[in-house]
């Protein structure tokens, strides 16, 4: 991938980010079994995962793609069995750290954008402002922002109850006097009207993240 930074550069940057934004969520992508990857190189990847304790890591096994530099100049010489083994090791590390991170949210309130609703289980499913998947029982809140109290967690998400339905009063400290529904629709209408429904959801998500980042007092009061 021709990345020219070192692991030390990466660790320093992560430390700077966490110092400036405590509680920030950090994720990354890791490919295991790249051409010629040694046991020592793999252990270094595992070591960094243990040092950083990511909120999420998208782990994949290397595979040849015709036309790429790797395909032209390197041989895919790491066995599939080794790739699967290494992937499992990293997934186990991820699971351990994410469980600990998510468990710290139990009993706290989080902001989330609901992306879909399951009528069978009566669950709202969406993403928090740190991009964690959340499940919250209640009426259909698709496309809306909620404040929810986390009841329990696992390595892949949060289970919660909605705290601000049917009114948005709990948001007043975060968004001033304006209800959250108004905040979310006070986006440049020229941009808004030109977006598809899917992109409108993305615009709304960006809006909530920007407001959340500039109103850290809300999180201090949780």
SS (H, E, C) the chain: CCCCCCHHHHHHHHHHHHHHCCCCCCEEEEEECCCCCCHHHHHHHHHHHHHHCCCEEEEEECCCCCCCHHHHHCCCCCCHHHHHHHHHHHHHHHHHHHHHHHHCCCCCEEEEEEEEEECCCCEEEEEECCCCEEEEECCCCCCCEEEEEEEEEECCEEEEEECCCCCCHHHHHHHCCCCHHHHHHCCCHHHHHCCCHHHHHHHHHHHHHHHHHCCCHHHHCC
**Fold (CATH) for 7-103:** Transcription Regulator spoIIAA (3.30.750)
In the chain, CATH 2.40.50.140 covers 109-220
In the chain, CATH 3.30.750.200 covers 7-103
96-154 residue pLDDT tens: 999 999 999 999 999 999 999 999 999 999 999 899 999 998 889 999 899 999 999 98
pTM, 2 dp:
0.71
**Fold (CATH) for 109-220:** OB fold (Dihydrolipoamide Acetyltransferase, E2P) (2.40.50)
62-90 residue pLDDT tens: 999 998 988 899 999 999 999 999 999 99
């Amino acid at each position: 991938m021709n990345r020219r930074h070192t692991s030390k550069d990466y660790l320093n940057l992560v430390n700077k980010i966490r110092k400036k934004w405590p509680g920030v969520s950090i994720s990354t992508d890791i490919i295991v079994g790249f051409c010629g990857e040694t046991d020592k190189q793999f252990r270094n990847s595992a070591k960094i995962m243990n040092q950083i304790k990511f909120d999420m890591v998208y782990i994949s096994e290397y595979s040849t793609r015709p036309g790429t530099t790797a395909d032209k100049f390197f041989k895919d010489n790491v066995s599939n069995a080794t790739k699967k083994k290494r992937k499992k090791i990293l997934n186990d590390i991820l699971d351990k750290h994410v469980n600990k991170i998510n468990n710290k949210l139990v009993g706290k309130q989080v902001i989330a954008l609901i992306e879909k609703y399951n009528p069978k289980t009566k669950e709202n499913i969406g993403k928090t402002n740190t991009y964690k998947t959340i499940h919250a029982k209640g009426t259909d809140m698709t496309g809306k922002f909620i404040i929810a109290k986390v009841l329990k967690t696992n390595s892949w998400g949060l289970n919660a109850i909605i705290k601000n339905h049917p009114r948005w009063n709990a948001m007043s400290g975060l968004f001033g006097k304006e209800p959250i529904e108004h905040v979310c629709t006070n986006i440049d209408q020229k941009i808004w009207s030109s977006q598809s429904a899917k992109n409108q959801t993305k615009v709304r998500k960006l809006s909530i993240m920007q407001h959340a980042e500039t109103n850290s007092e809300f999180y201090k009061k949780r």
